[in-house]
Amino acid sequence: MNRICFLSAALVAVGASMASAQSDFTLGFTGPGSQSGSSGDAWSGDYNCTLADSGGGPGAQGWSLSVTADDAAINSITFDGTEAAALYSGGFKKSELTTKGVDDCAGKNGAVSAVVLSFTENKVLVAGATTQIAIINVSGAIPAGGGTSTLRYVNKCQGAGQPVQNAVTENGATKNPTLGTLDIALREVQSCCNAQVNVGFSSSKVDSATTYDGIVDAEGDPAICDGAGGEIVTEVPAGGQGEGHVYASISSKDAGGGVQGWSFSIALSGDGANLTGLTPDGTPGVDQNYSGGFKKTEIVDPAKNSDQRGGVSAVVLSFTENKVLPAIGTSSVLDIALQAAAVQGDPDQTASLAYQNGLRGSGQPVQNAITVDGNTLNACNAGTAAVNVIFRIEPVGQNGSFIRGNPNGDSKVDIADAVWIINELIRGGPASACPDAADANDDGMEDSSDAVYLINFLFRSGPSLPPPYPDCGTDTTGEDPAATCPADSTTCP
């Protein structure tokens, strides 16, 4: 018997007593919309198959999927671990890869999945919601010049059984869903790691003899040095208004006689932060090398830049001396001050900085350019270097350091602390404001063995207290290596 007919018939009994109202359904995908790398590099990613319900009926009882990928391969498909799997109870589920099919799936690799949530209970997806119903792993290769891979629902891919239709069952009746697609942009990125000069953003001031040191880059190791996709996070107490600094840096690798000057045009986008200051002063690349040259830096007027916010900076280190950045190394050359757009609540506040040609201050539009040996060079990664700046609420009670063996919080480890532990455990005494400080032997528990351990250490040449001891700090060993104490619960900073 055709599998879809079997699933539909099985669900008729489950839905026979329900009302006749039904929803409209749409099958879609969520996941990364782009993949990048050098030409020929392999890429892979997990993508969700989703089912959107218009909300007209009680919800989907089951479904079947038939999925393919253009210019990519589907490596696996699973229902387990999805949002829908949490509702599964005594039904039917089968997911498998396919190498054959008919009609629109003829000659295509793909995957199919069929699910009935329950044969005995009224288990349905949430009406009016979009639910993750399968997870597929997709892979491919970055083509020269870039390209596109497309995920799509195509009827009649065939696994071990009959060709599968994309279908949804509600109220015991089968409906044909709208079939969505997802284009995945494949971006060829030339590696910039061996380029003479690169730019990027750093979370702190960098003055290093190592190329690309400190520049935020999300590519991993080995990096392609595009300076893209990284994050700089500033934690802010709840109700405070975050402030932070990002540093524009230059990386040099065999850059001739060294970088003599540069011009930057840096755009700020996103509503999570505002630009409050911009200066080359105080940065190591400028402070250590500037002598009688030229520097001009200003925050641009959005009204003169099509509402684009940002800043421009131009520096020549010297007109009379051979002042240059090191020919090999990384130097911060611009301090960018930012303030969160609002007081900090639970949601992150996010903005982005990127090198973007053409911003105008009081003069002409500025291009991103670097001067070496009197010649203008374009940084290899100037078109990709960008960073997300995030203001995030500070975790409550996770920033207090402590001294091991000092539960009474007086900054001294002595016999009074052993007595404190016994009083707390046995005699109803006050509890330590920092329980981790009472865990003298660092076994993850506060008990009488901690008092014994402390006495042995103090008076019987027993083993030393594990860190943090004798100075303030956080736990880096033992049973709870992430242990800290509530803020202001000790005399430690």
Distances (CA, A) of 344 to 240, 390, 392: 6, 11, 7
Q: What is the pLDDT of residue 493?
A: 64
The two three-digit tokens of residue 105, written as one number: 């799936």
What domains are defined for the chain? Answer: 3-188 (2.60.40.680), 197-393 (2.60.40.680), 397-493 (1.10.1330.10)
Judged against a pLDDT cut of 70, whether residue 130 lies above it is answered with yes
Overall average pLDDT of the 420-447 stretch = 87
**Which residues, in sequence order, are CB contacts of 21 under 8 Å at separation 6+?**
56, 57, 58, 171
Under 8 Å between Cβ of 197 and 368: no
Give the rounded percent of residues in the chain with a pLDDT score beyond 70.
90
The two three-digit tokens of residue 281, written as one number: 């002063």
Closest CA to 61 of 105, 91, 32, 35: 91
Judged against a pLDDT cut of 70, whether residue 220 lies above it is answered with no
Q: What is the pLDDT of residue 2?
A: 44
Q: What is the pLDDT of residue 233?
A: 94
Q: What is the pLDDT of residue 316?
A: 98
Q: What is the pLDDT of residues 285-318, one digit of tens each?
A: 999 999 999 999 999 999 999 999 999 999 999 9
Q: What is the pLDDT of residue 473?
A: 81
Q: What is the pLDDT of residue 444?
A: 81
Q: Residue 73 and residue 185: Cα distance in Å, rounded?
A: 15
Q: What is the pLDDT of residues 319-352, one digit of tens each?
A: 999 999 999 999 999 999 999 999 999 899 999 9
Q: What is the pLDDT of residue 443?
A: 85
Judged against a pLDDT cut of 80, whether residue 226 lies above it is answered with yes
The two three-digit tokens of residue 209, written as one number: 């003899």
Q: What is the pLDDT of residue 222?
A: 55
Q: What is the pLDDT of residue 126?
A: 94
Judged against a pLDDT cut of 80, whether residue 481 lies above it is answered with no
Judged against a pLDDT cut of 70, whether residue 1 lies above it is answered with no
Please, which pLDDT band fits residue 445 given cuts at 50, 70 and 90?
confident
Q: What is the pLDDT of residues 366-378, one digit of tens each?
A: 999 999 999 999 9
**Does this model's pTM top 0.75?**
no
Residues 475, 479, 482, 485: is their CA dihedral positive or negative?
negative
Q: What is the pLDDT of residue 487?
A: 64
Beta-bridged to residue 26, according to DSSP, are: 52, 178
Amino acid 125 reads: L
CA angle 381, 287, 262 (to 5 degrees): 35
Q: What is the pLDDT of residue 366?
A: 97
Q: In whole numbers, what is the pLDDT of the chain averaged over residues?
A: 89
Judged against a pLDDT cut of 80, whether residue 19 lies above it is answered with no
